[in-house]
Structure 1
């Protein structure tokens, strides 16, 4: 049956019908009083979601663009930065920093394992001359389903005193607790096609007062991604360049939906869906790629044995029109990833696990207990 696609990937994620209807409307002018009112509402609600009273700026970019802006606005050529690398996106931020002439030192962990906070602590404590200007971390590493201990790493950054804490929260914002002001995070980037529940096209960068001080002396080149321009325009409920008007209208709708649900309920829902997914996968006899104590509430990575990851994905797409994500780089063909981020419900998890079991049987797996995956997930879901 056509037109029944079910997205179970880490982005783009499903979009609520109310937001889709916003996208279908005629756009309004972005230099009008009507749009200024929308911008004022959206900006205020973005601050609520980010748990900050500081600036949260919107850019017409992907999550990568938001992170690039978060790096280049506050640093200068030759600055020493620490980059946490335990997956594709941590590696990407190191590549971005190198491309802009920064002095990059990587703190690494094996893909599928979390970064060790004490590794950052050791390097930062040894920096007696305070040469390290920033620490760049991926909170939820989308490529592996690992969530890094941002709070613990940030404590080491705060003890250092000089370095900025720059965070990729692309798949954690709106899924996990990221209390920007409470933790004193300096730069936090995210993207619209994840927990925000709208299509790709908007990037968000939250900026602290400390980061704005660094902006004054930063010398890396910037123009379209110059956050100073966005801050000045946002003060007038406007944008420095032409924005995706209908995406912002849809964002207004989804932010209102999130406020109605409440932050704690949003975080609890994502945790419940993660737990149910992991329980169901384990019950089907499939190994999980990330450990339980570092599992991301946004995405679960599975490393099948005896059946091929791409064959599983192919059957789910062809037979059930359910899209799962594949592995990236050296993990391509070795893992598949189940997204449970954004506009995802209990029903979606049960449907995906049922289809996964059918795929395994079709590929010749002998299940000890038919229906075990759904039963294990249901037990988690019925606990609330």
Structure 2
């Protein structure tokens, strides 16, 4: 194993393209100067395209969780009632944020590993007309589930005027996102996943419907005031000191996405998902999610006859490959493989081949090459 080599296949942070690293190494510029304004002007259209919106996309220096908190404090008042659809650990984070701001939270728990059911949410809202906001995750990182937020939005709109707020941190820029067309009111994502950047930026966009609520909301907020970000973006600037190095990188990321074409980006992620799932099926190792519910950015595997944590240790020791473990009650019971952002089918073939060796070293009786061959067949059949 090379001392300086780390092969990152966790569901974030994800690997960074060399051209993006070079962009982030540029010398500092004045954050109130023309150069920064010109950069923000160039960045804005690309971000809107990724989000599928005509609205301004706020760029906030902070983690994805800062984006989730931004959504909460801008669209909900203390004492109001909201519904949080929990399909895993990060859906539950919305619950914790809302409770911290004295918001009355109704929780609809979904079995981990399964996607939300829009009809269940519709029925719940019909019985709770006082709910002002519905919170959900798009990709639930902890389980590898991609929730059908387009269908969720339709279901909500049939029975309620509630706003729809979506955590897209672990999938936006890796899966199709049509915020305006689907009727999503607030979409949040972060820089360290499919956006191929280090952690440190969160992006938040709000619909016209949401803006009416935001502008009438007297909930105290300062740094996380979306109105400040929108008003400053309209003048090609930021309300507070921006993370300039990350903005340099973001400009290059958007250039890479444009060059590849967003539809091709989404197809690449779907292909890597299919290759990875085919490999584990061929090896006889169960997956946590169904094919229908599976995310194109992360795959969760639930072994029955070997230790997930010991398996992860072998991959790290032998090949410097980092994959993620389970969270909360799934700790030690699953492992998760990230395939998002700066990741290709070639990378997945490398990972799958190494996984087979690690399984052999762990003592599992498998046929070497069987998983790799299954992934190769998926690739050839595209």
Name the TM tier (shorter chain). Answer: over 0.9
Compute the displacement of 1:383 (Å): 2.1
- Separation (CA, whole Å) in 2 of partners of 1:283 and 1:4: 29
Distance in structure 1 (CA, Å) of the matches to 2:19 and 2:28 = 16
| 1:237 correspondence with 2:236 | yes
Which of 369, 372, 375 is matched with 1:377 structurally? 375
Structure 2 counterparts to residues 58-73 of structure 1, below 5 A: 58-73=59-74
1:216 aligns with 2:218: no
Q: 2:288–2:301: 8 Å Cα contact kept in structure 1?
A: yes
Secondary structure of 2:236's match? coil
Any idea what SS the aligned residue of 1:248 has? helix
Q: Report if the CA contact (8 A) 2:278-2:371 is conserved.
A: yes
SS at structure 1 position matched to 2:323: strand
Alignment map for 1:24-103 (pairs within 5 Å): 24-103=25-104
Structure 2 distance, partners of 1:279, 1:8, is 17
Mapped contact 1:299–1:337 kept (Cα < 8 A): yes
SS in 2 for 1:318: helix
Cα RMSD (Å) of the superposition? Answer: 1.0
Residues 267-293 of structure 1: CA deviation (Å, up to 9, x unaligned): 111100000000011112211011111
User: Contact 1:13 / 1:194 at 8 angstroms: preserved in 2?
Assistant: yes
* Aligned twin of 2:340: 341
Matched residues in 1 for 2:38 and 2:188: separation? 24
Q: Give the deviation of 1:161 after TM superposition.
A: 4.3
> CA separation in 2, counterparts of 1:158 and 1:257?
36
Q: Identify the residue that residue 270 of structure 1 maps to in structure 2.
A: 269
CA distance in 2, matches of 1:150, 1:57: 21
- Which shows bigger deviation, 20-29 or 88-97? 20-29
> Is the Cα contact below 8 Å between 1:55 and 1:208 reproduced in 2?
no
- TM-score, structure 1 as length reference: 0.97
What pairs with 1:164-313 in structure 2 (closer than 5 Å)?
164-313=163-312
What is the correspondence of 1:353-368 to structure 2 with a 5 Å cutoff?
353-367=352-366
Aligned to 1:122: 123
Q: Give the number of aligned pairs.
A: 381
**Secondary structure of residue in 2 paired with 1:382:** helix
Q: Does 1:330 align with 2:329?
A: yes
Deviations 1:316-338 (A, max 9, x none): 11110111011111111111100
**Counterpart residue number, 1:2:** 3
TM-score by length of 2: 0.98
**Structure 1: segments with no counterpart, 5+ residues:** none
CA-to-partner distance for each residue in 1:94-142, whole Å, 9 max, x for gaps?
1111111111101111111111111111022234xx4211000001000
2:108 matched to 1:107?
Answer: yes
